[in-house]
Structure 1
Amino acid sequence: MKDYLRKHPQVRTIRVAAADLNGQARGKRIPARYADKAVKDGTRFPFSVLSLDIWGEDIDDSPMVFEQGDQDGVLKPTERGFMPMPWLEAPTALLPIWMFRENGTPYEGDPRHALNAVVKQYKKRGLTPVVAMELEFFLIDDSGKTLQVPSSPRSGKRRKAAETLSIRALDAFDTFFTDLYDACEAMDIPADTSTSETGLGQFEVNLMHCDDALRAADDAWLFKMLVKGLARRHGFAASFMAKPYKEYSGSGLHTHFSVLDEAGDNIFDSGGPKGTAALKHAVAGCLAAMSDSTLVFAPHENSYERLVPDKHAPTAICWGYENRTAAVRIPAGSPAARRIEHRVAGGDVNPYLMLATILGAALIGMEDEMEPPSPVTGNAYAMDLPQIPATWDAAIEAFEHSDMLSRFLPKELIRNFVLTKRQEMHYIAELTPEERVELYLDTV
């Protein structure tokens, strides 16, 4: 890690940052001359910082604040090490960190540790999850009272229509995407294909599959930070909020995963299109946990505006082969690449919590040899099927009292997340619709 700064003497400051429960980067700015201390000794800030609400405020009834004296945790560098922050003007390096207790044990309220604990359960069984993510986001001109598509840097025109898989839409923002891919290379984020999507000024970038689930979540978290920061340098906003425009589809964060055994073979590969019993057990686990885990996949008030019928986001708890109306899809293709696509999460999620929940549920399904219902064919929106919770309060209630989620998510994390979401629900009720959009546009 120290070699990075020696090789980049132009770096004047560093940022040390951890992801809180909302996926917000929380940390400090440090002069580069003192970076060695942050690497060697770590840095400190209160445990309560990882469960602040979306405004960055303390949780009023959290036992961590006044009841426990608002004690400090110790934050140490992750294995990712230093990386550039290409969206800033001054040469700056980012050092991702995660939280530990004074005695060196992981802090259970840290979402990155929650994912790490799930991955360790796979490792104990000789298994390795392989993960890829598809991140959708909007480019937005938020300079006026009404959100709209930014003017194209090439033509100066605004295309006020969805342009699904449009090369013209990509070319209109070619300078932004060129800078984005250059920045991903510099940060070692494996950005692959980009496409224009069905929303107004909406795009998707796929991140390549990775056999390190922690690194895959890091990539998604860092990518969101990068896209939002870089867009501002180009004179507009980028947002991963679930639904900025009511009349258009929202942004999802679809997760593909398979599982390798100790020999490196995909345990979902049956040699044919249907997959193995292990695949079906994993699907069953994801479906069994879906209602209880909706709060993870839809963590904000705006999230539930995306989860409506006929808008390219799932509403029914079901699965199917090559069926994008289902919550869980088994894509076609080579049997060696047989995998599960989990389609519920919005772009506004915390990638660490999302991945911990998906992989944890799948592992329980495999361990308990759960059996899924029959796969659906046709339009799942038109079928009489169990439904994903349609409201924020219902999702909070299901998450808090879930027996299944408590098998792999720490009790402290569950408590903190529920307290955070209840506080947000209370104060967001006081906001106008315009104020809610303004809140989520930059934060998530």
Structure 2
Amino acid sequence: MEWFQQEVKNFRQNWPNIEFIDLIFTDINGTPRGKRIPAEALEKVGKGIALPLSTITLDTKGNVVESAGLGEELGEPDNICFPVPASLTPTARENTGQVLLTMMDDSATQPSPLFIRNILEKQLKQLKDNNQYPCMAFELEFYLVDKERTRSGELLKAMNPAKNIREKNTEVYDVDGLDDYDGFLTDLNTLAQAQNLNTSGALSESAPGQFEINFNHSQDVLRSCDEIIIAKRLIRQVASKHNFDATFMAKPFADEAGSGMHAHISLLDSDNNNLFSQDNGEASPLFYQTMTAMLAQSAGSIGLICPNVNSYRRFVPGAYVPTKADWATNHRGVSFRVPLSDPKNRRIEHRIAGADVNPYILAAVVLSSVLASDQYTQEQCPPALNEEAAELPRRMFEALNLLEVSELSQFISKEFIGLYLACKHSELAEFERAITTTEIDWMLHTA
């Protein structure tokens, strides 16, 4: 890997004081896992790192999901992982860098067909063969919260560092409010630049202590997803330095807005023409075909892009969160929004996923609709704000059941969908075995 050796050389020149390197891989939830090595051993990473195949199937607590069939049953076999290009960066720790890993098979000759980043890369190659080049951008919401919790374990809203009071007021797009968090935001922006993240700034969102970080449009979809992994880790690290916790839970507070991750997509040809627009400026047949595919796949895809029980608590009517499989232009209450733009920049904004989504899975779901578009006609696209639009599933078990019979396995992979379902059914079963304080409060003396 000559390219990696050159990256290492450049990295050492730019960051000579780095002593350790975190080797980061992502599990099925998009959670960064890995190991820390001395910086002097960095060159060896280019030859490959052996990691258990079962690391793909770690649950939200970091345990191997044995029902997925990649653990003890197979003898915990290793696969070979290699560095991801352009992911060798510093971190918020002054003496520590990091590099992302992608997984090959045990012979190190073929990409592992179960690793979602590889599946996304395969989709991109299929589209390239059709002279279609997706251009995507992400919007990521998150909360800063207090490191302390209530006696019952609930989250506490952040203490405003400038006013020294606990956040409570909703101030959407509050520019002055950003000044109160200047220390956090300045450090975040400085390190985001050092990590070459393609961001376009942060803004105050629609709840106390909630923020959004926007990423610019890019034709390098894999890199865009890598950046979400890097950015989430960075936000957590910088938040901790400023005595906050950062959370990407879809619904951390019952009485406040949830956190989403919206994905924008346009489709270009090799000459950078927008395939969603015609020469006369009107939307193209492909635009309507893709929209129809998105609508058709939406119910089946919820189980993939809403991966946790908490994900479904975000779907509250009237909270600018979609509850139906519908679309419209310049409307934030729908699943698929068409933002105001000129024909060159016509795009679709996918608004269903929460901030807890695995970015590679979200991108793969979006691209599945592009791959399926030729199965639909322009005339099949329902009208905007269709009153007959189907309701989206609101419970995890319902969403997983719909995923199991959906057409997404044709475009993502049957093997991955099966692996994912095993992991998520296991997590859901464990969650449902837990006895909550609400049950005790309601039923201790009444049942």
- If the length of structure 1 is used for normalisation, what is the TM-score? 0.92
Q: CA deviation at 1:10?
A: 1.0
What is the match of residue 148 of structure 1? Answer: 156
Residues in 1 aligned to 2:281 and 2:394: alpha-carbon distance in whole angstroms: 33
Change (3 A) 1:263 1:27: same
Give the aligned residue type for 2:89.
M
Residues in 2 aligned to 1:225 and 1:160: alpha-carbon distance in whole angstroms: 26
Residues in 1 aligned to 2:72 and 2:196: alpha-carbon distance in whole angstroms: 40
Q: Does 1:419 align with 2:422?
A: yes
Change (3 A) 1:264 1:434: farther
Residues in 1 aligned to 2:379 and 2:34: alpha-carbon distance in whole angstroms: 44
Q: CA deviation at 1:370?
A: 6.1
Deviations 1:75-115 (A, max 9, x none): 001112411112x2x41111111100123111111111111
What is the match of residue 404 of structure 2? Answer: 400
Residues in 1 aligned to 2:437 and 2:48: alpha-carbon distance in whole angstroms: 40
What is the match of residue 121 of structure 1? Answer: 126
Q: Is the 8 A contact 2:371 2:411 kept in 1?
A: no
Deviations 1:31-70 (A, max 9, x none): 111111112x111111110111111111132321122111
Give the aligned residue type for 2:370.
A
Q: Does 1:55 align with 2:61?
A: yes
Structure 1 gap ranges (5+): 436-444
Residues in 2 aligned to 1:160 and 1:203: alpha-carbon distance in whole angstroms: 14
Q: Secondary structure of the equivalent of 1:264?
A: coil
Residues in 2 aligned to 1:32 and 1:427: alpha-carbon distance in whole angstroms: 39
Give the aligned residue type for 1:398.
L
Give the aligned residue type for 2:62.
G
Residues in 2 aligned to 1:335 and 1:271: alpha-carbon distance in whole angstroms: 9
Q: Is the 8 A contact 1:162 1:199 kept in 2?
A: yes
Return the match for 2:330 from 318, 322, 325.
322
Q: Does 1:356 align with 2:367?
A: no
What is the match of residue 248 of structure 2? Answer: 240
Residues in 2 aligned to 1:151 and 1:29: alpha-carbon distance in whole angstroms: 33
Residues in 2 aligned to 1:43 and 1:167: alpha-carbon distance in whole angstroms: 45
Q: Secondary structure of the equivalent of 2:399?
A: helix
What is the match of residue 104 of structure 2? Answer: 100
What is the match of residue 135 of structure 1? Answer: 140
Residues in 1 aligned to 2:219 and 2:129: alpha-carbon distance in whole angstroms: 16
Q: CA deviation at 1:367?
A: 5.5
Q: Secondary structure of the equivalent of 1:9?
A: coil
Give the aligned residue type for 2:136.
V
Q: Does 1:84 align with 2:90?
A: yes
Q: Secondary structure of the equivalent of 1:315?
A: coil
Q: How does 1:100-249 map to 2 (within 5 A)?
A: 100-103=104-107, 104-145=109-150, 146-249=154-257
Q: CA deviation at 1:246?
A: 0.8
Q: Is the 8 A contact 1:268 1:278 kept in 2?
A: yes
Residues in 2 aligned to 1:160 and 1:430: alpha-carbon distance in whole angstroms: 34
Paired residues in the alignment total: 427
Q: CA deviation at 1:360?
A: 1.5
Return the match for 1:309 from 292, 310, 317.
317
What is the match of residue 440 of structure 1? Answer: none
Q: CA deviation at 1:335?
A: 1.4
Deviations 1:309-330 (A, max 9, x none): 1111101001111111110011
Change (3 A) 1:51 1:182: same
Residues in 2 aligned to 1:144 and 1:153: alpha-carbon distance in whole angstroms: 18
What is the match of residue 443 of structure 2? Answer: none
Residues in 2 aligned to 1:406 and 1:227: alpha-carbon distance in whole angstroms: 33
Greater CA drift, 144-153 or 101-110: 144-153
What is the match of residue 4 of structure 2? Answer: none
Give the aligned residue type for 1:132.
A
Q: CA deviation at 1:273?
A: 6.8
Q: CA deviation at 1:416?
A: 1.2
Residues in 1 aligned to 2:294 and 2:371: alpha-carbon distance in whole angstroms: 9
Change (3 A) 1:287 1:384: closer
Q: Is the 8 A contact 2:57 2:70 kept in 1?
A: no
Q: Is the 8 A contact 1:248 1:311 kept in 2?
A: no
Q: CA deviation at 1:182?
A: 0.6
Percent identity over the alignment? 31
Change (3 A) 1:307 1:433: farther
Change (3 A) 1:147 1:274: farther
Change (3 A) 1:179 1:234: same
Change (3 A) 1:121 1:336: same
Return the match for 1:42 from 40, 48, 51.
48
Greater CA drift, 298-307 or 95-104: 95-104
Q: Is the 8 A contact 1:284 1:362 kept in 2?
A: no
Residues in 1 aligned to 2:149 and 2:104: alpha-carbon distance in whole angstroms: 43
**Alignment RMSD (CA, Å):** 1.8
Residues in 1 aligned to 2:220 and 2:436: alpha-carbon distance in whole angstroms: 40
What is the match of residue 26 of structure 1? Answer: 33
Q: Is the 8 A contact 1:53 1:420 kept in 2?
A: yes
- If the length of structure 2 is used for normalisation, what is the TM-score? 0.92
Q: Is the 8 A contact 2:202 2:211 kept in 1?
A: yes
Change (3 A) 1:202 1:434: farther
Q: CA deviation at 1:5?
A: 4.1
Q: Does 1:256 align with 2:264?
A: yes
Q: CA deviation at 1:364?
A: 0.9
What is the match of residue 286 of structure 1? Answer: 294
Q: Is the 8 A contact 2:135 2:266 kept in 1?
A: yes
Q: CA deviation at 1:368?
A: 4.5
Residues in 2 aligned to 1:292 and 1:336: alpha-carbon distance in whole angstroms: 31
Residues in 2 aligned to 1:227 and 1:102: alpha-carbon distance in whole angstroms: 34
Residues in 2 aligned to 1:126 and 1:384: alpha-carbon distance in whole angstroms: 35
Q: Is the 8 A contact 2:137 2:217 kept in 1?
A: yes
Return the match for 2:413 from 410, 413, 430.
410
Q: Secondary structure of the equivalent of 1:229?
A: helix
Residues in 1 aligned to 2:310 and 2:360: alpha-carbon distance in whole angstroms: 20
What is the match of residue 392 of structure 2? Answer: 388
What is the match of residue 439 of structure 1? Answer: none
